[in-house]
Structure formats: structure tokens, C-alpha cells
């Protein structure tokens, strides 16, 4: 089984207050939490082993700040 990586580009992320926390709201197992970094709430994963690999966070982030590896079959190519 390959290891799942949840990668956030903190420069691109506009923060949960600005985007409405889409990545956490769309996550089926609800494992995305936000950490305040200089007033910007950026996502992090609490229990990566519960990740369902649906790539919803990656595909729905308005600024494409999230990359989930390994890539989704037939999905966006990073």
C-alpha cells in the first residue's frame, strides 16, 4: 500500500476564513483541521489513515492549493 501525502501550498491557500473552509467541509471522513498561521487558517490532516482518497479537497480548492499523492487515476496531472 502506498503512503498517502497531503500537501498544502501555503502560499496559494487563501485560508479557511476566505474560502469558507471548503476542503474540510468536503472531506467525507472529516479529517481536515485548520491551523492558524499568521492569521490564516491553513489545513492539515489529523488522521491520514482515514483518508478515502477521493481527492475532493484537491479538486475543489478554489486556488488549487492542495495536492494529494498518489495522484487520482484519470484526475489532474500534477
Select from 40, 30, 39 the least CA-distant residue to 8.
40
Burial class of residue 14 (count of CB atoms within 10 Å of its CB; 0-12, 13-18, 19+): middle
Asked if 23 touches ligand SF4 (CB under 6 A), the answer is yes
Q: Which residue has the cell 478515502?
A: 52
The whole-angstrom separation of Cα 14 and Cα 76 is: 21
Binding ligand SF4 (rule: CB under 6 A), the pick from 16, 27, 31, 68 is: 16
Q: Which stretch binds ligand SF4 (CB under 6 A): 16-24, 45-53, 69-77?
A: 16-24
Nearest to ligand SF4 of 20, 70 (CB atom): 20
Q: Which stretch binds ligand SF4 (CB under 6 A): 8-16, 45-53, 69-77?
A: 8-16
The whole-angstrom separation of Cα 59 and Cα 56 is: 5
Residues that bind ligand SF4 (CB under 6 A): 8, 13-16, 19, 22-23, 43, 61, 63, 65-66
Amino acid at each position: 500500500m502506498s503512503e498517502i501525502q497531503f500537501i498544502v501550498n501555503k502560499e496559494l491557500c487563501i485560508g479557511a476564513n476566505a474560502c469558507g473552509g471548503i476542503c474540510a467541509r468536503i472531506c467525507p471522513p472529516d479529517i481536515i483541521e485548520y491551523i492558524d498561521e499568521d492569521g490564516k487558517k491553513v489545513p492539515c490532516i489529523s488522521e491520514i489513515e482515514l483518508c478515502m482518497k477521493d481527492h475532493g479537497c484537491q479538486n475543489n480548492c478554489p486556488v488549487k492549493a492542495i495536492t494529494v499523492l498518489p495522484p487520482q487515476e484519470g484526475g489532474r496531472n500534477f
